[in-house]
Structure 1
Amino acid sequence: MEPDRPPSAPTGVTAVAGSATSVHVMWNQSTDDQGVRRYDVLLDGKKVKEVPAERHMVDITGLRPGTAHAFTVRALDSAGNEGPASKRVAVTTPKQGTEDTRPPAAPSGLTAEAGGSRAATLIWKAAEDDAVASYDIYQGSSKIHSVGGDSTSAVVTGLRPGTAYRFTVKARDAAGNVSPASPEARLTTSGKGSSEAGAAPTELVAAARRTDEGHYIDLTWVAPRTGGEVTEYQIRLDGKQDTSLVWGGKVPEEAKYSFFVGKEAGVKHRVKLRAKLPDGTWGGFSPERTVVTGEE
């Protein structure tokens, strides 16, 4: 009988300073053959919070203002096995400043656009306050996401196909004061059960190109609307992961990439790609394209 395996390390961990004394930590679900029982959130290697398996976010409070913090997350399964810690995520809380009891104004102009069947992009106008530390996104009355105070957009993932949603946004300043909610934005996700996530690249064009070395495939595509910067893509060739692309700087909206596929002509290839979203999760794949080497 094989021994029980520990849970996998959580992926997509993000940490956003919610105020001078709090940080909002989020992560993706771990996998385990026995079922995850809980998550432990560690601050600088020391456990500071236990979170039930059905939740994948938590606010860590009571932190020191103007201080750098490092967070990791690990999963424990129902058999008591402790999984490895996630990648370390660093964040610095803003300085406290002078005493502030006045909350920011409510964010305005909130719009919500479905990105396929399982994602949505939210965009709003900045709240009027000289020290907005973060924005909290609500689905109905439940807080589901946070982004930094310099952001005015966010991608929400993990939605259900063909479902109506209501979103609002609240601003939080460095002193922890929270604004009233923005006007509500509503949307309905598409589909009835597609397994693909939303926020997929569009207008993918794949073309064969022959050189003295052999055959290449040239790709061009338009980046998905994510509400943030996309710097990483994954290319899938012939049903298998082939290449991960990571840009060090800003990626143009119309991206390009070329890769070598061999020296033989007349070989058919299938290619598609997907983007890593700002929250650390993967978006949906683009439509698949078929290319035959030697046909240019």
Structure 2
Amino acid sequence: MRGPFSLFSHLRHLAPCAALVLVASCGWTSAGEGDGDAPPGAPTGVTATAGTATSVHVMWNTTARADAYEVYRGTTKIREVPGSKHMVDVTRLRPSTLYVFTVRARDAEGQPGPHSRAVRARTPATVADDRSAPTRPSAPHGRAAGSRAVQLSWSAATDNRGVASYDIHQGDAKIHSVGGSQTAAVVTGLRPGTAYSFTVRARDAAGNVSPATPAVRVTTPGTGDGRATAPTGFRATSHREDGAYYVDLNWVPPRVDGEVTEYEIHLDGRRATSLVYGGSAPRDRATYSFYVGRDAGVSHRVRIRAMLPDGTWGGFSTQRTVTTGPGR
């Protein structure tokens, strides 16, 4: 096999459940050196919701290493947003029309990743001379769903022609949208130990918007020090094969909203290698083994951290010390 795998000629033990791309640094270089050039992965969690008869709200999870996102309608690129954003309102559409959208990420070097799965949204029929806004949604409620997400709910608004969607605002910024038949939403990508304020507005097919609900205030649990996002159950052992020593790792991925597909391994206080799952990443327990040399009796300190779905690094696992065994 060619490409990044050739950097570890002695690497034999890869996770069997997914295609794995290694971004390794020969000689255990310091962090920031020797990074691989793999493009970003396909955005996950893509949704498309008709906001009015002429607009659709497209959202996705933040992708690691994304410098920008490209939004496609069918095969046509229609919008581009910076990597700090993960939603867009697509406007000037036709009423009563089915649209198909995909999103792909592009890194700082201009490399595009694969397209996301396709999502579909049908715009509702237009309503002539509709100037009546929906009523205000009532009974808003919110609770933390882990340290990085909030579950919101509300009672349905009413409208003379029907509610097309609900817009969720964080402060003055619209951050999410769901269909008019839904009265709940999960807001992700939040920070542990942080206070948030949300409001909800109803929107009809003509674009009329209701007054906002009273603010819902929720504080996510945690300290913000990374402990809530660190891999747990981290273990490190060593084995010998064909005259060489390998460090064998296993851990439980952090419990966050979205899939964790990238990890960074530190050996003896320096970044040793990164690994990226190209297929479905393990959710219950992950394993990984890598070559560390041919000398017996050498002790190494090792720890690991995950790239979170919002594109930031989570906290480090507990550090373990492992010693290569005696020679044979």
Shorter-chain TM band: 0.5 to 0.7
What CA distance in whole angstroms lies between the structure 1 residues aligned with 2:153 and 2:83? 30
Report which of the two structures shows the higher radius of gyration computed on alpha carbons: 2
Deviations 1:77-109 (A, max 9, x none): 111111111110011111113321111111111
Unaligned runs of 5+ in 2: 5-35, 231-280, 288-328
What CA distance in whole angstroms lies between the structure 2 residues aligned with 1:77 and 1:118? 25
Name 2:315's counterpart in structure 1: none
Give 1:140 deviation, angstroms: 0.9
Name 1:131's counterpart in structure 2: 162
The amino acid of 1:109's aligned partner reads: A
Deviations 1:226-250 (A, max 9, x none): xxxxxxxx9855x249xxxxxxxxx
Taking only aligned residues, the RMSD between alpha carbons, in angstroms, comes to: 2.1
Deviations 1:175-203 (A, max 9, x none): 11111111111111111134349xxxxxx
The amino acid of 2:228's aligned partner reads: S
Per chain length, whose mean CA-contact separation is higher, i.e. which structure has more relative contact order (CA < 8 Å, sep 6+)? 2
The amino acid of 2:42's aligned partner reads: A
SS in 2 for 1:195: helix
What CA distance in whole angstroms lies between the structure 2 residues aligned with 1:150 and 1:196? 33
Q: 1:179 aligns with which of 210, 218, 234?
A: 210
Name 2:88's counterpart in structure 1: 58
The amino acid of 2:180's aligned partner reads: G
Deviations 1:137-191 (A, max 9, x none): 0111111111100011111111111111111000110011111111111111111
Moved over 6 A (4+): none
Q: Residues 76 and 236 (structure 1 numbering): CA distance in 2 closer, same or farther, change over 3 Å? A: closer
TM-score (norm 2): 0.58
What CA distance in whole angstroms lies between the structure 1 residues aligned with 2:156 and 2:171? 21
What CA distance in whole angstroms lies between the structure 1 residues aligned with 2:216 and 2:130? 30
Answer yes or no: is 1:103 the counterpart of 2:133.
yes
What CA distance in whole angstroms lies between the structure 1 residues aligned with 2:190 and 2:107? 25
Answer yes or no: is 1:148 the counterpart of 2:179.
yes
TM-score (norm 1): 0.64
What CA distance in whole angstroms lies between the structure 2 residues aligned with 1:236 and 1:11? 15
SS in 2 for 1:87: coil
Q: Number of residue pairs matched?
A: 201
What CA distance in whole angstroms lies between the structure 2 residues aligned with 1:160 and 1:13? 21
Q: 2:70 aligns with which of 20, 31, 40?
A: 40
Name 1:163's counterpart in structure 2: 194
Answer yes or no: is 1:25 the counterpart of 2:58.
yes
Q: 1:11 aligns with which of 44, 53, 59?
A: 44
